[in-house]
Amino acid sequence: MENLVFTRYLYPKLDVKQSLLIALLDRNSNNALFWAYELYYSGFEEDLFEYIYNIYDSFYKLENPELEHIIQEKWIEWNENKNDCIVGSIIITLTVRNYQICDFVKDYIGNTVFPMIHKTSCKFIVKFKEADLSQYKTVRPEKEKTRQYLASVCKYPINRAYNDFFGTSCSDYNEEFYNWEYYAVRCPLWLYRIQRYGGRINHETKKIDFPDDDAYEAFYDDWGLEPDEQSVEVQEKCIGNCERKQLSTDDFCEKYGGAKSEPITNSIIFTS
């Protein structure tokens, strides 16, 4: 699991990105915002903007060419003022726009499908407000209640239904989840938190070494999330269930608008 990274709420980072894509294609704005800000507030801001642009380029560009410069301008604006609402504005705007999966399916897996676009009438840019942001900001655990933390903040289950389709791991993450610190320290937010207590990563033991017992106890008093003590429901929200059925390429295409054959047009000629 060399590439495994846990985000702020202990979701696998790669699965968060896939969940964001699926939420956008589902036009589920609340879900998409949650996954976008999961990446953003974990410290992967630049990575998120690059990923959003790649999603636009692969799925939305053909139907929305005017959005390209808007997304680029928003990215530049964010680099200048770090306004957290900019991410939300881009995400919600994408959820109300048309998209096509044909080029992506062709480039990614070599299959040819034909567009079945579900037209919407929205062509405006949505402005995400500061008042809407609070529910996505990082929540700190209450003292003496760190064990209940994940149950309260993990609002949505990770979506791993298309891991086979995307060619990503369907592995069982239980062992890694129980030893979460080693994989969470790869996340900028968790690295910052652990270093505040003097923690250092130990690659041999796959543990975090603290300078003394006081630092160790202080960290776990504040951040002892105890994933192994969570309910099955909470664990599956975070890392999924690798035994659940994977959806196929055909499933993906059928759901998101890729027909196997070109739509038949009306060729009847009427004569008087």
Residue range 225-237, pLDDT digits in tens: 999 999 999 999 9
According to the model, what pLDDT value does residue 184 have?
97
* Domain that includes residue 215, residue range: 13-259
According to the model, what pLDDT value does residue 124 have?
76
Between residues 151 and 106, which one has the greater pLDDT?
A: 151
- Does any domain span residue 37? yes
According to the model, what pLDDT value does residue 1 have?
67
Question: Residue written as tokens 């062992």?
Answer: 175
- Does any domain span residue 6? no
- Does any domain span residue 117? yes
| Mean pLDDT on 60-81 | 95
Q: Residue 270: pLDDT above 50?
A: no
According to the model, what pLDDT value does residue 260 have?
60
According to the model, what pLDDT value does residue 160 have?
94
Helix/strand/coil for 202: strand
Among 17, 29, 238, CA closest to 149: 238
What are the CA-CA distances from residue 61 to residues 36, 99, 135 (Å)? 20, 8, 30
Q: Residue 102: pLDDT above 90?
A: no
- Does any domain span residue 267? no
* Residue partners of 69: CB distance under 8 A and separation at least 6: none
Distance CA 2, CA 158 (A): 20
Distance CA 215, CA 222 (A): 11
According to the model, what pLDDT value does residue 105 have?
84
Instruction: Give me the number of domains the chain comprises.
Output: 1
| Mean pLDDT on 205-218 | 96
Which tokens in the block code for residue 184?
């969470």
- Does any domain span residue 66? yes
According to the model, what pLDDT value does residue 88 have?
97
According to the model, what pLDDT value does residue 272 have?
35
| Mean pLDDT on 37-51 | 98
For residue 70, name the pLDDT band (cuts at 50, 70, 90).
very high
- Does any domain span residue 59? yes
Distance CA 56, CA 64 (A): 9
Cβ proximity of 42 and 8 under 8 Å: yes
For residue 24, name the pLDDT band (cuts at 50, 70, 90).
very high
- Does any domain span residue 5? no
- Does any domain span residue 3? no
Cβ proximity of 71 and 115 under 8 Å: no
